[in-house]
Amino acid sequence: MVVLNKQGFKLPRVEKDKFILLLRLGLEYDRAKGTFCVGSYNNIERLTNTIAEILGEDEVAFSQTCIHCGKDFACSECKYAESCATRNLPFHCVCPRCLKSGGKLEDTR
Amino acid sequence: MREDLLWVEKYRPKRIADVIGNEEAKSAFTDWLKNKHRSKKAILLYGPPGVGKTTLVNAAAHEFGFRVIEMNASDARSEKAICKVAGPATAFVALDTFSSESKGNVLFMDEVDGIAGNEDRGGVSTILRLIEESRIPVIMAANDPDIDKLRPLKKVSALVRFHQVRIPLIIAMLQEICQKEHIEAEFEALERIAENSQGDVRSAINDLQSLAEASRKLTLQDTVGLSARNKDVGMDETLGGYFSAKSLLEASMRLSRSSVDYDELLMAIGDNLPLRYRDPAELAEAYDFVSQADVFRGRIGTENWHLLRYFFNSLAMAAAVSPGSYQPFSLISPPIRVITLFWTKGRRTMLNNICGKIGQRCHVSRATAKTDVVPYVKAMLSRRKADEIVSWLELDNEEVEFLGKLNRL
């Protein structure tokens, strides 16, 4: 499994049709940096499957951003990952450390 | 006052930042709302219930100074009704738009996937026309965007998907509520509630309130009941718990955990209300809520089950008109209508057979025979000049006797 940084990640060069498909599914391409990032989350499951296919992996995972400390972490660190409907998708969450220390949501606002 | 009793209302976010989860959807929506040159005049927010779609719309409108004109599932959404409410609102720009405080109106149509049936005929095509001609932003929310009738709306709208709220976020929010309500809660108990909610923040808050409000303490042991939700709860147990409920929430919980058929439940509650409320004003108020619930039951039909919470809410309101006045009483169960239908089944079958014979002879439907012919046949039989008509209609003695005794149809 590959863990991608949702702020920007690189993909191997793909055919035109595949590239168009990626953009249609919600990926954005930064021509200057040559990196991709997720712009729309409406087809996120299909998008991650397509990326996995391009990378030749069974599964790809995105890094998660903690809304308390702002640090990135992986879903594999979370004990609720098994029952999470959005596991490995690039969304905000609370990291295990902040959850244990009982950080207040109010502080993040 | 009643709203404050429910924590989901008490802690309903007032600002965009207070809405938990779905950060990406939140920013996509607020970007669309803030943008004066929107590429699409309408936006469709979709996702499972209880993830903050409606809350976000209200919070964002409040924060950006929009006034929300809302049509939700409780309103009829036929062509006529939509034109009446939304037509004038979308055709003109409000004058106060030019003041610094207000940005004008937004039209918000909640539960658009619930537009169905005869009451809402022409609803979707009217919304489409409205979007095309609208001079104000049109916001729609739906749980299931994949149903066929929403396809035309999806084509003309920007789409924003909401996902289930993650368990750690729900736990963090429950911790915050516990702190504000001075509740000592075990972390594992909150964990259990969050996992049980399946990403539905509203149900997680309701569960927390029902388990911890009274004792101000919450242990893992208290949450054992959460997994027993599918246990069969019959009519008597449901009605007993419902009528003796001390709060709106308790009544709502009793209803949602019942396994009784919803139509029978509605009838049984209607039958028992006069025994529950002796004060005519309270009784009238309670019946008003039951009639609202009846409207929702009709709108649910066989497919719009996401509207079930409105049905339960209205019924729960009927039980919470005056919780303090409860006196135990003997419940009427099963419903009077069901009992009546049971007792009159033989009579109805007999009349139906007679109408069938008459209909065949007179070339009319059974219904017409019942209303237009049977009264005359009965009159003929009473004058003892009926041998000819009896043989012509091929009525037997039992049927002739039945018609002779028939008082009303």
Q: For residue A11, what are the contacts with CB-CB under 8 A and spacing of at least 6?
A: A22, A36, A51, A54, A55
| B340 in a structural domain | no
Which sequence spans correspond to the domains of chain A? 2-62, 64-108
d(CA B269, CA B208): 27
What's the whole-model pTM score? 0.63
The pLDDT score that the predictor gives to residue B162 is 93
**Distance of residue A40 Cα from the nearest chain B Cα, in angstroms:** 8
Instruction: Say yes or no: B40 and B122 in one domain.
Output: yes
Closest residue in chain B to residue A65, using alpha carbons only: B23
Last residue of a domain, one of B310, B335, B360: B335
As a whole number, the mean pLDDT across chain A is: 86
Beta-carbon separation of B168 and A99 below 8 A: yes
CB environment A63-72: b (16+ within 10 A), e (fewer): bbbbbbeeee
The pLDDT score that the predictor gives to residue B66 is 87
d(CA B366, CA B351): 10
As a whole number, the mean pLDDT across chain B is: 83
B29: nearest Cα among B321, B183, A55, B40: B40
Cβ contact B244:B326 at 8 Å: yes
Instruction: Say yes or no: B19 and B104 in one domain.
Output: yes
Q: For residue B65, what are the contacts with CB-CB under 8 A and spacing of at least 6?
A: B101, B102, B103
- Using a CB-CB distance cutoff of 8 angstroms, which residues of chain B are in contact with residue A67? 23, 169
Beta-carbon separation of A103 and B172 below 8 A: yes
Tokens read off for B95: 């004058």
Q: How confident is the model at residue B73 (pLDDT cuts 50, 70, 90)?
A: low
* Least-confidence region, from B102-106, B272-276, B397-401: B102-106
Q: For residue B288, what are the contacts with CB-CB under 8 A and spacing of at least 6?
A: none
Instruction: Say yes or no: B155 and B7 in one domain.
Output: yes
Strand partners, A72: A65
Q: For residue A106, what are the contacts with CB-CB under 8 A and spacing of at least 6?
A: B176
Of B20, B28, B167, the CB nearest to A105: B20
Mean pLDDT of all residues in B183-205 = 89
d(CA A17, CA A22): 9
Taking 90 as the threshold, does the pLDDT of residue B144 lie above it?
no
Pairing of the two strands A27-30 and A35-38: antiparallel
The pLDDT score that the predictor gives to residue B281 is 93
Across chain B, how many H-helices and E-strands are there?
21, 7
Last residue of a domain, one of B213, B229, B245: B229
Which pLDDT tens digit goes with each residue over B288-343?
999 999 999 988 887 777 788 888 889 999 998 888 888 777 778 788 888 788 78
Backbone angles phi, psi at B403, to 5 degrees: -65, -35
Taking 50 as the threshold, does the pLDDT of residue B365 lie above it?
yes
Beta-carbon separation of B167 and A83 below 8 A: yes
In A12-109 the beta strands, taken as DSSP E runs, fall at 27-30, 35-38, 60-62, 64-66, 72-73, 92-93
Instruction: Say yes or no: B225 and B240 in one domain.
Output: no
d(CA B185, CA B212): 8
A83 inside 8 A of chain B by CB: yes
Taking 80 as the threshold, does the pLDDT of residue B100 lie above it?
no
A37 inside 8 A of chain B by CB: no
Portion of chain B with pLDDT greater than 70, in percent: 88
Beta-carbon separation of B167 and A92 below 8 A: no
Closest residue in chain B to residue A96, using alpha carbons only: B168
A105 inside 8 A of chain B by CB: yes
Which pLDDT tens digit goes with each residue over B42-55?
999 999 888 999 99
Instruction: Say yes or no: B153 and B262 in one domain.
Output: no
Q: How confident is the model at residue B34 (pLDDT cuts 50, 70, 90)?
A: confident
Cβ contact B288:B315 at 8 Å: no
Beta-carbon separation of B169 and A67 below 8 A: yes
Q: Is B25 left (phi over 0), alpha (psi -120 to 50) or beta?
A: alpha
Burial environment of residue B343 by CB neighbours within 10 A (0 to 12, 13 to 18, 19 or more): exposed
A78: nearest Cα among A104, A105, A97, A102: A97
Tokens read off for B339: 């009992």
- Total domains, chain B: 4
Instruction: Say yes or no: B143 and B265 in one domain.
Output: no
Tell me: cis bond preceding B334? Omega within 30 of 0 counts.
yes
Question: Strand, coil or helix: what is B294?
Answer: helix
Instruction: Say yes or no: B324 and B367 in one domain.
Output: no
d(CA B48, CA B303): 16
Instruction: Say yes or no: B26 and B142 in one domain.
Output: yes
| Structural domain range at position B367 | 345-405
**Which CATH number goes with the domain that contains B72?**
3.40.50.300
Between residues A88 and B76, which one has the greater pLDDT?
Answer: A88
d(CA B110, CA B310): 13
Instruction: Say yes or no: B110 and B67 in one domain.
Output: yes
Beta-carbon separation of B172 and A41 below 8 A: no
Instruction: Say yes or no: B20 and B118 in one domain.
Output: yes
Strand partners, B60: none
| B203 in a structural domain | yes
Cβ contact B290:B269 at 8 Å: yes
Q: How confident is the model at residue B216 (pLDDT cuts 50, 70, 90)?
A: confident
Across chain A, how many H-helices and E-strands are there?
3, 7
Which pLDDT tens digit goes with each residue over B1-16?
444 568 888 888 989 9
Burial environment of residue B331 by CB neighbours within 10 A (0 to 12, 13 to 18, 19 or more): middle
Report in angstroms the alpha-carbon separations of B395 from B351, B362, B375, B409.
Answer: 11, 14, 15, 18
* ipTM score for this prediction: 0.87
Instruction: Say yes or no: B188 and B224 in one domain.
Output: yes
The pLDDT score that the predictor gives to residue B6 is 80
Instruction: Say yes or no: B10 and B75 in one domain.
Output: yes
Last residue of a domain, one of B313, B335, B357: B335
